[in-house]
Amino acid sequence: MPDSQRSNALRERLENDEVALGVLDSTYSPTLVELYGDLGLDFVWIDLEHGGPSPWDAGALENLLRAAEVTDTELLVRVPTSQPEGIRKALDAGVRNVFLARAEGAEEVRRAVEAARFRYGDDPGKRGLAAPRARRWGMADDYVATEDAETMVGVTVETRETLVELDAILDIDGLGFVFVGPLDLSVQLGHPGELDHPEVREAVETVRSKAVEAGVPVGGLGFGMDDVNEKVDRGYQMLNLGSTAGALQAAVGDWLDAFEGDRS
């Protein structure tokens, strides 16, 4: 009978001021999650905002989790909304690392963190207690304490509201990390796709500097390894190196470019 729960290696890396590297799996494939784990990645990003299975499809999430668990990598699951019921559903499937998309302010983020806790500070949390997969179907005796200790909730800073209320967000008890969302920030600031626009760059730097100053781990997108290494030097602890689709496009494109025969 399982009487203890697996620790959260991603949370441990961030709390130990270490860097975590991962990849966005845009195919939502358990096989690729397992491969990425064997390659040594610290996390595999599963984005339920822009694609993938329904966030209510617990079976699909469970298969991705099983692939991660056999290789000791972690899933980093972005949920499409901050609704507490969606967060609780993902956690019951066994997800330990959730981050929010398009949050509309500090109170929304606080409610999401509270929804992931059985105890929140000195008060009762808002997570439901049952016997799901995360509890090993009722066989994990230390479920409540371990889940509260190991579960991590973060937020993508990608809206005007989260930018304006950033100080309050960084002060939320139990917040695991913030993740800079430059693409949506560029849209929100009126410069879609212009990541080098001064206003967008200033917003990104504001998130980074305030998070580092507050002691909250900050994550972001890596645009090539030079950019990844520079961001690590500037205090980023969680870096997404790229995506399955991007890696395949680059590799297959290089193969085709190197072919010297006639393909007409």
Residue 196 lies in a domain: yes
Q: Which two tokens stand for residue 147?
A: 């889940």
CATH number where 158 lies: 3.20.20.60
In a domain, 264, yes or no: no
- In the predicted model, what is the mean pLDDT of the chain? 96
pLDDT tens digit string along 84-104? 999 999 999 999 999 999 999
**Owner of token pair 């302010």:** 105
- Give domain status of residue 1, yes or no: no
Does residue 94 belong to any structural domain of this protein?
A: yes
Say what the pTM is.
0.95
Two structure tokens written together for 32 = 């690729």
The structural domain count of the chain equals 1
Is 2 part of any domain? no
Question: Whose structure tokens read 């390659």?
Answer: 39
Within-domain flag for 213: yes
Phi, psi dihedral angles at 167 (to 5 degrees): -60, -45
72, part of any domain: yes
The pLDDT of residue 160: 96
The predicted-structure confidence for 138-158, as pLDDT tens digits, reads as follows 999 899 999 999 999 999 999
User: What is the dihedral sign for C-alpha 127, 130, 134, 138?
Assistant: positive
- pLDDT (0 to 100) of residue 141: 87
Per-position pLDDT tens, the chain of length 264: 454 567 999 999 999 999 999 999 999 999 999 999 999 999 999 999 999 999 999 999 999 999 999 998 999 999 999 999 999 999 999 999 999 999 999 999 999 999 999 999 999 999 999 999 999 999 998 999 999 999 999 999 999 999 999 999 999 999 999 999 999 999 999 999 999 999 999 999 999 999 999 999 999 999 999 999 999 999 999 999 999 999 999 999 999 999 999 988
Alpha-carbon distance of 194 to 186, in angstroms, equals 6
Q: Give me the domain span that covers residue 35.
A: 9-258
4 part of a folded domain: no
- What local confidence, expressed as pLDDT, does residue 20 receive? 99
Q: How many residues does the chain have?
A: 264
Q: How high is the pLDDT of residue 4? A: 55
User: How far, in Å, are 36, 73, 199 from residue 39 at the CA level?
Assistant: 5, 10, 37
pLDDT of residue 5: 67
The amino acid occupying position 170 is L
Q: Which tokens in the block code for residue 28? A: 């939502």
Contact 126, 117 (CB under 8 A): yes
- Distant-in-sequence, close-in-space partners of 13: CB < 8 Å, separation ≥ 6: 19, 20, 42, 237
